[in-house]
Homo-oligomer: A and B are copies of this chain.
Amino acid sequence: MLVVMDKAATPEMIQRVRDEIDRMGFSAQTLADPHRLAIGITGYNGGGSVDRLETLEGVREIIRFGDQYTLASRATKQEDTIVDIDGVEIGGETFPVLAGPCSVESRDQAMAIAEIVAEEGVRIFRGGAFKPRTSPYSFQGLGIKGLEILREVREQFNLRIITEAMDTETIDLVAETADIVQIGSRNMQNYSLLKKAGKLNKPVLLKRGMSATVNEFLLAAEYILAGGNSRVILCERGLRMVANRTGNMLDLSSIIEIKRLSHLPIIADPSHASEQRYKVAPLSRAALAVGAHGLLVEVHNEPEKALSDGPQALPPNEFKQLMVELRRLSVALNKELP
């Protein structure tokens, strides 16, 4: 921690900051240069009480250089975390593709899509039963009926299931069906939900919020880890952008950064980052090339009839083609598609 003083701070103001740091039981060290004076704090343990230094006269800002997450940090655990989903590993050197529709719309639709993706070697099926929608008048998902269909998909095609939990009241219900419980972007800072996810006996996939920093993302993961659930998978899904009229922007750079800062696996969602289908395959290739631990892709047997996100869902032929490309690319990158 560093307390940066105003240029106009008097020696008395500086001394008062030093005294306050001493009083808190930390050690103060002055860093001076012609441009600015700052006071470093040694022994700081991350507590919020140091915030109050910012209220002292003459203080310009406080700079924190330590991360506030611990369990999610690679400093705490050097080796990559590999989450085992009933025999399918996420993390390490594999590159699993999780695929399926945005929403489960009917038994027939789910079965048809499951068959398509299973044939391509997919082993984890995605499909929403509870859907967070921007408008209250949009299709909100089949709910419990959707979970039933997902259980049938699992049995018939030997696919593991990832599906979203939207609130503390239904997360346990979702976890009964799901092999991976997904927490969506809009709920990344729904701390009550994160705390409940920390108590689950199921892996959790946490999507990054639409304008969340890497630090906030890892702190959200820390909520789950701190609750006792160590099987957390991160998912980058695109940030809201300044300069793009449509769509989000897949922050592939953050995947590199997160792999350095954290031991947790991180996969990419090229579908939500695209909003338009023609971008999905190139972004999928890029995610593999940049080092992501897997993909979450939307596939639909009849995208033009989808009840949600049709424009970004891949039709069967394009999905097949994508899998061919990914397999060829993975060889050149020494990655394995399970």
Chain A contacts to B: CB under 8 angstroms: 1-2, 4, 7-8, 29-36, 38, 40-49, 51-56, 61-63, 65-70, 73-75, 78, 132-139, 166-170, 186-187, 189-193, 210-216, 219, 222-223, 226, 239-247, 249-257, 260, 273-274, 276-279, 282-283, 285-291, 303-311, 313, 328-329, 331-333
Contact = CB atoms under 8 A, between A and B. Distances in A.
A319 to B, nearest CB: 14
Please give the count of copies of this chain that the complex contains.
4
Given A8-B75, A332-B332, A213 B245 contact: yes
Contact of A40 (B38, B69, B249): B38
B51 A41 contact: no
Contacts of A74: 7-8
A277 B219 CA distance: 25
Given A192-B169, A243-B211, A41 B31 contact: yes
26 contacts: A2-B2, A34-B44, A34-B45, A35-B45, A35-B66, A40-B40, A49-B307, A51-B308, A55-B311, A61-B246, A63-B65, A132-B189, A136-B222, A137-B226, A167-B192, A167-B193, A169-B169, A211-B211, A213-B243, A213-B244, A214-B244, A239-B241, A245-B245, A250-B252, A256-B278, A329-B332
Nearest to A222: B136
List 9 tightest A-B contacts by C-beta distance, closest first.
Answer: A35-B66, A7-B75, A167-B192, A36-B66, A54-B311, A211-B211, A186-B189, A289-B289, A31-B40
Contacts of A31: 1-2, 29, 40-42
A199 to B, nearest CB: 13
Contact of A252 (B44, B75, B168, B286): B286
A75 to B, nearest CB: 3
B247 A250 contact: no
Contact of A242 (B30, B240, B255): B240
A144 to B, nearest CB: 15
Given A242-B239, A260-B278, A78 B8 contact: yes
A331 to B, nearest CB: 7
A33 B66 contact: yes
B252 A252 contact: yes
A184 to B, nearest CB: 9
A192 B136 CA distance: 11
Nearest to A250: B253
Contacts of A328: 332
Contacts of A66: 33-36
Nearest to A254: B244
B45 A33 contact: yes
A242 B167 contact: no
B219 A67 contact: no
A7 B310 contact: no
A229 to B, nearest CB: 13
Contacts of A282: 252, 255-256, 289-291
